[in-house]
């Protein structure tokens, strides 16, 4: 299985055999809060991997981990066929179905799903998004990757993880509710998973602008050289496991 950084924020691409799976795709130059751009927006600093390599039509499956606009970007999703298989949360499914997508699977915690040649296992996310988002592993029977886009759930018991994709730039709402991990929490989570490779996601949250951004307190660790060794740092960087 090949893991590829899909954009300069938090999109991921997995290649295995004839399958090309994309997670939370962002393919446009500007990501916005639907209908209320002034609330939240982010400009891409680099062209996305799928667009740059003309691979949008090669994507076989989509995983959307949350209904938030920075995970479920309709302008990007509308570049795919309406019948492409999508695995997502209940809240996100309502948005997708309303917008014409016809092959949507609502995933359940502790359930497994076949995604082409890969096995998708769904796990409960860490608080505060434990009821609205999910973490997952993808497994090709030889290797396994774990992905949590917000806060790691320390109660998880997952074995044989080769690589973990997790946050490292800390974000708090109103300075109180933490929604993205800091450096030490990331180190601890990698240790719990016993993962050889660490891959940072949700990077550079300070690039997100708009009214909502003023409610956030941010401490970025991603650019610090002393941070734990990580891979797939730039768009298009890949790791084979």
What digits encode the pLDDT tens for the residues 3-50?
A: 999 999 999 999 999 999 999 999 999 988 887 778 888 999 999 999
Identify the band that residue 227 occupies on the pLDDT scale cut at 50, 70 and 90: low
Between β-strands 118-124 and 163-167, what pairing exists: parallel, antiparallel or unpaired?
unpaired
Measure the CA–CA gap between 44 and 6, rounded to whole angstroms.
11
Query: Could you tell me which residue, 193 or 37, shows the higher pLDDT?
Result: 193
Q: Residue 171 above 80 pLDDT? A: yes
The radius of gyration computed from the CA coordinates of the chain, to the nearest angstrom, equals 16
What six digits make up the tokens of 173? 């709402």
Instruction: Give, in degrees to the nearest 5, the angle at Cα 214 between 209 and 215.
Output: 120
- pLDDT of 228 reads 59
Question: 3-state DSSP call for residue 52?
Answer: helix
Between β-strands 197-201 and 163-167, what pairing exists: parallel, antiparallel or unpaired?
parallel
- pLDDT of 38 reads 81
Torsion of CA 59, 64, 65, 68, to 10 degrees: 140
> Domains plus CATH for the chain?
2-240 (3.60.15.10)
Mean pLDDT of the 187-207 span:
94
Place of tokens 């479920």: 72
CA distances from 160 to 14, 142, 157 (A): 18, 9, 10
Kindly report, residue by residue over 86-97, the tens digit of the pLDDT.
999 999 999 999
Share of the chain above pLDDT 90, in %: 87
Measure the CA–CA gap between 200 and 208, rounded to whole angstroms.
17
Single out the residue of 30, 63, 62, 23 nearest to residue 45, CA to CA. 30
Q: Residue 61 above 80 pLDDT? A: yes
- pLDDT of 60 reads 98
């Amino acid at each position: 299985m090949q893991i590829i950084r899909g954009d300069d924020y938090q999109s991921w691409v997995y290649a295995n055999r004839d399958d090309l799976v994309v997670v939370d795709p962002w393919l446009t130059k500007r990501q916005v809060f639907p209908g209320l751009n002034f609330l939240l927006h982010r400009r891409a600093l680099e062209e996305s991997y799928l667009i740059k390599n003309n691979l949008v039509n090669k994507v076989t499956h989509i995983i959307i981990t949350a209904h938030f606009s920075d995970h479920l970007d309709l302008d990007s999703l509308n570049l795919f066929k309406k019948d492409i298989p999508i695995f997502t949360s209940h809240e996100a499914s309502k948005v997708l179905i309303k917008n014409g997508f016809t092959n949507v699977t609502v995933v359940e915690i502790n359930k497994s799903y076949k995604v082409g040649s890969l096995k998708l296992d769904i796990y409960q996310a860490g608080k505060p998004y434990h009821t609205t988002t999910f973490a997952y592993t993808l497994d090709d029977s030889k290797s396994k990757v774990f992905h949590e886009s917000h806060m790691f759930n320390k109660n998880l018991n997952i074995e044989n993880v080769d690589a973990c994709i997790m946050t490292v730039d800390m974000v708090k709402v109103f300075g109180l509710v933490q929604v993205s991990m800091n450096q030490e929490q990331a180190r601890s989570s990698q240790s719990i998973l016993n993962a050889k490779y660490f891959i940072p996601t949700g990077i550079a949250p300070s690039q997100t602008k708009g009214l909502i951004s003023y409610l956030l307190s941010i401490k970025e660790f991603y650019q610090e050289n002393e941070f734990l060794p990580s891979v797939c740092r730039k768009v298009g960087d890949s790791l084979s496991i």
